[in-house]
């Protein structure tokens, strides 16, 4: 495993631990702002951490309604874009308390190394949106 892959694996483990703990502030701490989420034909810009945290709180509420107990993530690939930037593609899995799969998808991120730590600056959420819609529980639904 390369140093970059090891660093991104650690970032992913910390990120999914924050989701599994339903800790919106901890999820937000993995991002730099402004941040951009691409979802279908939409571009959602979060200019502050507070706005991102509010959105993440809503997402976590949705996960609770879907009975998500924990999140898992596997780093599929990373492509450096210089010394302080990289892309990564991941596979996410949402699981019940018994370990049953609720939903899975792939997502892509752009990360930047700031003050020695990787922070996400952009993500493509099309895979997650499609996974929840295929399940009959689109994001934003009750």
Q: Provide the token pair at 78.
A: 């990373």
Distance CA 30, CA 9 (A): 13
More confident residue, 40 or 101: 101
CA-to-CA separations, 9 to 44, 46, 138, in angstroms, rounded: 26, 25, 28
**Phi and psi of 99, rounded to 5°?**
90, 5
CA-to-CA separations, 50 to 25, 55, 61, 81, in angstroms, rounded: 9, 9, 17, 28
Q: Has residue 142 got a pLDDT over 80?
A: no
Confidence of residue 78 (pLDDT cuts 50, 70, 90): very high
Confidence of residue 137 (pLDDT cuts 50, 70, 90): confident
The domain made up of 3-134 is a member of CATH 3.10.450.50: yes
Give pLDDT, residue 2. 72
Domain boundaries, the chain: 3-134
Confidence of residue 141 (pLDDT cuts 50, 70, 90): low
Collapsed DSSP state (helix, strand, coil) of residue 8: helix
Outline where 3-110 has alpha helix (H). 3-20, 24-28, 49-65
Q: State the average pLDDT for the chain.
A: 94
pLDDT tens sequence across 16-74: 999 999 999 999 999 999 999 999 888 999 999 999 999 999 999 999 999 999 999 99
Give pLDDT, residue 100. 96
More confident residue, 2 or 26: 26
**Phi and psi of 140, rounded to 5°?**
90, -10
């Amino acid at each position: 495993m390369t140093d970059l892959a090891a660093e991104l694996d650690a970032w992913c483990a910390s990120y999914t631990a924050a989701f599994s703990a339903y800790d919106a502030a901890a999820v937000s701490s993995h991002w730099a702002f402004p941040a951009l989420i691409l979802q279908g034909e939409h571009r959602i810009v979060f200019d502050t951490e507070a706005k991102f945290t509010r959105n993440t709180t809503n997402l976590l509420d949705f996960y609770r309604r879907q009975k998500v107990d924990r999140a898992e993530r596997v780093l599929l690939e990373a492509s450096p874009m210089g010394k302080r930037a990289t892309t990564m593609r991941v596979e996410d899995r949402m699981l019940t308390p018994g370990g049953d799969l609720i939903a899975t998808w792939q997502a892509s991120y752009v990360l930047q190394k700031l003050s020695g730590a990787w922070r996400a600056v952009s993500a493509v959420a099309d895979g997650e949106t499609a996974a929840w819609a295929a399940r009959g529980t689109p994001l934003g639904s009750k």
